[in-house]
Amino acid sequence: MLQALSFLSNSPTLFVALICVIGLLVGSFLNVVIYRLPVMMQISWRKECLDYLQLPEKQPEREPFNLAMPLSRCPNCNTPIKAFHNIPVLSYLFLQGKCAACSAPISLRYPLIEAFTAITSMIVANHFGYTPQTFFALVLTWSLITLSFIDIDHHLLPDSITLPLLWLGLLLSLFNIYTDAHASILGAVAGYVILWLVYQLFKLATGKEGMGYGDFKLLALFGAWLGWQYLPVIILLSSLVGAVIGIAMIAIIKHDHNKPIPFGPYLAAAGWIALLWGENINQLYLTISGL
- 211-261 per-position pLDDT tens digit: 788 999 999 999 999 999 999 999 998 888 877 776 766 666 665 556 667
pLDDT lower than 70: segments of the chain: 1-9, 60-61, 246, 248-260, 286, 289-291
Which regions of the chain does DSSP assign to beta strands (E)? Answer: none
What was the pLDDT predicted at 278?
Answer: 87
Peptide bond between residue 111 and the one before it cis (omega within 30 degrees of 0): no
Domain boundaries, the chain: 12-128, 131-291
pLDDT at residue 225, rounded to an integer: 97
* Cross-strand partners of 105: 98
The DSSP element (H or E) to which 221 belongs, if any, is helix 213-226
What is the pLDDT, as a whole number, of residue 289? 64
Let me know how long the chain is.
Answer: 291
Distance CA 201, CA 9 (A): 50
pLDDT of 212: 81
pLDDT at 242: 76
CA geometry: angle 82, 17, 92, nearest 5 deg? 30
| Amino acid 80: pLDDT | 84
> 255: exposed, middle or buried (C-beta count within 10 Å: 0-12, 13-18, 19+)?
middle
pTM for the model stands at 0.91
